[in-house]
Amino acid sequence: MAENMISLATKGVGGTDEDWWYLVTEPSGDSYVLHEWSYLSLNNLKTDSGSKKIGVDDFLKAAGSYGAAVSALKKHLRRDA
């Protein structure tokens, strides 16, 4: 399995909210985007973290939701073509 980071976003006070996006290619040749996140609420010191697999086509269609990560994936795909 090959994993290439395509984007990293840090938000919040002191960078307490982070999102990572990876393009994952399975040995079978199937690919998907893996979104991982870790958020910390400073108001109540609660954390939220997790991950989600998103099909490449679905990810590319969700440009408004993922913004810069979609642009980064498009650039990565053009480079590998």
Over residues 29-59, the pLDDT tens digits come to 999 999 999 998 877 788 899 999 999 999 9
Residues 6+ apart with CB under 8 A from 39: 12, 16, 17, 18, 47, 48, 49
Give the pLDDT band of residue 27 (cuts 50, 70, 90).
very high
SS3 12: coil
4 pLDDT more than 70: yes
User: Between 56 and 66, where is the model more confident?
Assistant: 56
Q: What is the mean pLDDT of residues 50-70?
A: 89
Show the tokens assigned to 29. 């040749």
| pTM attached to this predicted model | 0.83
Structure confidence at residue 63 (pLDDT): 67
**Which CATH architecture is the domain 2-80 placed in?**
Roll (3.10)
Note whether 54 and 29 are within 8 A (CB).
no
